Amino acid sequence: MTRGALSVRDERVDDFNRLCRVARLLSPTLQALPEPPALYDATLLSAKPDLWAIGGYELVDTNGIMCAHAQTWYLIPVEVHDREQADALRHHELASQAERPEIKGRHRSWK
């Protein structure tokens, strides 16, 4: 998974010899991972408050030949992702607490 800011704009793409709508996910400078390849002919397929789907083509150099591979990007707003991660962590912590035995007197009782 990559975090970043979505940029979509029309650009002249020499490999296609035409103007093309290009989507890029611009990674924050602190992130050590490389930015993902651009998505060409980007089209919004679906937009919901917590999930966007964008389709298009990624150009991949295969032994000196540029090949276009169809791709779909699924984008989740950072706030939604972070909230889901926090909820999952909280659920895991509560579940692990429920599995721990409680010692009462000389015997164990399980919750």
Model pLDDT for residues 18-63, shown as the tens digit of each residue: 999 999 988 765 556 667 889 999 999 999 988 999 999 999 888 9
Backbone angles phi, psi at 96, to 5 degrees: -70, -35
pTM of the model: 0.66
Q: Which conformational region is residue 54 in: left (phi greater than 0), alpha (psi within -120 to 50 degrees), or beta?
A: beta
Q: Where are the domains of the chain?
A: 1-76, 78-111
Find out whether 42 and 34 touch, Cβ atoms under 8 Å. Answer: no
Separation of alpha carbons 22 and 58, rounded Å:
10
Q: What is the pLDDT of residue 28?
A: 63
User: What type of residue sits at position 71?
Assistant: Q
